[in-house]
Chain A
Amino acid sequence: MCDTCGCSDDNDIRMTNMQDGETVAVHRPEEDDGHEHGHSHGHHRETKTIRLEQQVLTKNDLLAERNRGWFIGRSILALNLVSSPGAGKTTLLERTIRDLAGRAAISVIEGDQESTNDAERIRSTGCPVVQINTGAACHLDAHMISHALGELQPSVHSIVMIENVGNLVCPSMFDLGEKSKVLIVSVTEGEDKPLKYPYMFQASELVILNKTDLLPYLDFDVDKFAACTHQVNPDAQILQVSATKGNGMEAWYEWVIQGTTGKFSRSVSM
C-alpha cells in the first residue's frame, strides 16, 4: 500500500523516475471492490431503490483540485499538453526547455501507453522528468499526476509540463489539476480537426499550430483552421510555430512566462 493515497490493487500503470531509473507500479485508489463476501443475500426479497445522483468523475475531480492546490501553494505553473500522436509535443518541449534555460525552471511528466523513449529525449536536455506508462488507459488522470509529483518534487516558482498521451478524445475529460490545457496540432492534420474533435478544442485555452515550416508543401488552409477552431471555441488563442525550425516560438514562450506571473496573482487573491 502506498503512503500517498492508500492504493493497493493491481493494474498496468507504471512510473519511471528518469533520474535514478527506478520503475514502480502506480495503483488505483483502494476501494471496496464489491465482490461477493461468501454469504447469500437471497433472503432479502424486497427491492430498495437508492437515489445516488453521484457525479461519475467525482474522484478524479477531487484529486485534480488537490493537485491544483499543491501547484498554487508552491507557485508552480502546470500545463497539460495534449495532441494526437505525432503532432510534435515532445519536440516542442525539447526546444522550449533549451530555449527557456535560465529564464524558467521546467520539469516534465511524460505520459505514454508504453516505452520511456520520450522521457529519455527530455532527460537528454538536462530537465528532471518522470515517465508514466498508462498501460491499458488512454489518458493521464489526476491520481497518476499526484504520484508523479511525489516522485518529481518540482521546485517552487517553477513550471511543470505534463505531456499527455497522444489522443484527441479521452484526455479532454480528465482534469489533472493543471492551469491550462495546451493543444498542439500539426499542419499535416486536416483543417477541420476542431470540428471532428470539438471536446478537446473546447477544453484547451491555447492551440499551437505546429510544423508551419511544411506549409509551402501542403494544401493546409490556416484561415480555415482558425475559423473551425473559433467555431468550436471562440476564446481559444492560436499560435503558429515550427518547433524544429524555431519559427514563432517566442510568442509561445511569452505565453508561458505570462502564465507564471498570472499564477502568482491568482494565489495571492485567494
Chain B
Amino acid sequence: MHELGITQEIVSIVTENARGAQVKRVVLEIGKLTAIMPDAVAFCFEAITSGTVAEGATLDIIETPGCGRCRGCGGELVMNEPFAICDCGGVSFEWLSGKELQVREMELV
C-alpha cells in the first residue's frame, strides 16, 4: 500500500504551501501508468488530513491517459498498461503521458 506514503507526501506538500491557511480544494494529477490507485489516495487523504489545515478539503484527481510512441515505427498508442505491442511488432516505447504524479494546484480560504 504505497499510496499511504504517497498521500503523506501530497499532504505534506499541501500543508507546507498553505502556510497556516485553510485548504478548500486540492487538484492532483495521477497518470494511468504510475501504479497508483486514485481511490486509495482519496481514502488515505481523508484520514491523513484529519486535524490539519487540509481537513475537509475536496480532492480532485485528474487521471491522465497513458500514451506512448513506438521506437520502431514512430506510431502513437493509447496504453492502459505500461507495456503494449505496436502494430509493427515493436515493444519499446517513449512515454508521452501517463507517468504524471503531481500536486497541480490548491484553493485556500
Residues of A within 8 A of B (CB): 31-37, 41, 44-57, 59-60, 136-139, 141, 169-170, 172-174, 195, 198-199, 202, 230-232, 234-235
Contacts and interface: CB of A to CB of B under 8 A. Distances in A.
B10 A49 contact: no
Given A55-B102, A56-B103, A34 B1 contact: no
Given A36-B51, A41-B20, A56 B2 contact: no
B102 A53 contact: yes
Which of A51, A54, A55 lies at the interface centre, i.e. has the most chain B CB atoms within 10 A of its CB?
A54
24 contacts: A34-B15, A34-B16, A34-B52, A36-B51, A36-B52, A41-B20, A44-B22, A44-B108, A44-B109, A49-B105, A50-B17, A50-B108, A51-B104, A52-B102, A52-B104, A53-B102, A54-B13, A56-B10, A170-B1, A173-B34, A199-B82, A230-B91, A231-B91, A235-B92
B106 A31 contact: no
Interface in B2-44: 2, 4-6, 9-22, 24, 34-36
Interface residues of B, number: 42
Contacts of B35: 169, 172-173, 199
* A-B interface, 3 closest residue pairs, ranked by CB to CB distance from nearest: A34-B15, A170-B2, A34-B52
Given A138-B2, A169-B2, A231-B83, A55 B101 contact: yes
Interface of B: 1-2, 4-6, 9-22, 24, 34-36, 51-54, 81-83, 85, 91-92, 101-109
Contact of A198 (B19, B21, B82): B82
Given A44-B109, A136-B4, A173-B35, A33 B52 contact: yes
Which of A37, A48, A141 lies at the interface centre, i.e. has the most chain B CB atoms within 10 A of its CB?
A48
B80 to A, nearest CB: 11
A56 B6 contact: yes
Contacts of A173: 2, 6, 34-36
Contacts of A49: 105-108
A32 B15 contact: yes
A48 B104 contact: no
B54 A34 contact: yes
A34 B105 CA distance: 17
A31 B2 contact: no
A35 B101 contact: no
A56 B102 contact: yes
B15 A202 contact: no
